[in-house]
Chain A
Amino acid sequence: MTQLRTRSVPLEQLARLIRRLDRRQKAALIRLVPELQTIRPDELVLPAGQNDLLAYFEAKMAALPKTRPLRDNDLFLGGLTVAEFFAAPEAEQARIWDIAHTEALQTLDDYEHPIRSDAVPAR
């Protein structure tokens, strides 16, 4: 898992940097890395099974009545945008996620949910 993470996270950080470049800088980048022009996105081969698994959940997302896709500049968690959150290293994402949960836990400190006397136990 560590190997996969260290391979993938820098790529996402790199993408974030590239998105910040203006057109002139992007043109210069293509001149520096000319093979970028010859690569098609569908060359990204995902492991067998991953496509099926994702398709299962993408069908759920497609069936949602009123949603819009995540945009990079949308605010996500911890004051970070979507792009910033998902480009952050895994440990940082976990830290932000944990802080959000700690805050949620604190706001529910005195909360007591009502329950029926004939509630079905987990036995």
Chain B
Amino acid sequence: MRCLLDKNVVRYILTGLHYGRLRSLTPLETSALLLWRAAEERGVTLFVSRYTFNVLQRLQPYPLAQIVLNAMPALSPTRYQPRWARRIRESSGLSREDAAMIALASFGSNDAGEILGVHWLATSDQPLLNGYRATLPTLERRFRAMTAQLSAPFCDAALPHLISPDALLMSWQM
């Protein structure tokens, strides 16, 4: 199973590791770090977006960034990611960045090009979660119509489950 971490979850990982010995972690930092540990224990592969990967590379000299880069491969946009991102924006009114992340979760691949998409997109961004849920029926319809016309492997693409780190952790405990 595969999970893409939204940029904010990665930021909470960094701040949690930086502040962790100085003060109590916030609930969002705790969830982000617990999710990472639980994913490793369950054999779930965590990914960061190619965008987050590039930002972290600028911070590569620092251990905080290095352990994330070592543990989480980048998910990069393939051919139909931009087209699907545009359709998400048309249907949902989500921001360009949010639409790009959701589309990446369906049409992203690893460095070797061996996978297509992820099962979960973990985000702490409540407006993004709400916006996605509100338009999911429309997105599902448009996604089916689009992928039906594509060749392999894109015809097998799937929509991700958008979920908060807490909810994902809970689902793994059940």
Chain A residues with a Cβ under 8 A of chain B? 1, 4-5, 7-8, 11-12, 44, 46-47, 50, 53-54, 56-57, 60-61, 64, 67-70, 74, 76-77, 82, 86, 93-94, 97-98, 100-102, 104-105, 107-108, 111-123
Contacts and interface: CB of A to CB of B under 8 A. Distances in A.
Nearest to A117: B152
B97 A101 contact: yes
B24 A70 contact: no
Interface stretch (B54-62, B127-135, B138-146): B54-62
B126 to A, nearest CB: 12
Contacts of B50: 104, 108, 111, 113
B141 to A, nearest CB: 18
B137 interface: no
A18 to B, nearest CB: 14
15 contacts: A1-B28, A4-B24, A53-B33, A67-B63, A70-B62, A70-B63, A76-B59, A97-B11, A101-B97, A104-B55, A116-B113, A120-B116, A121-B157, A122-B118, A122-B160
A106 B80 CA distance: 17
A60 B109 CA distance: 26
B114 A121 contact: no
A44 B21 CA distance: 9
Nearest to B13: A57
Contact of B114 (A11, A54, A94, A116): A116
Given A105-B97, A105-B100, A113 B23 contact: no
Contacts of B108: 113
Nearest to B41: A56
Interface of B: 2, 7-8, 11, 15, 17-28, 30, 33-34, 36-37, 50-52, 54-55, 58-59, 61-64, 66-67, 70-71, 76-79, 96-97, 100, 106, 108-109, 112-119, 151-153, 156-158, 160
B97 A54 contact: no
Contacts of A117: 151-153
A97 B34 contact: no
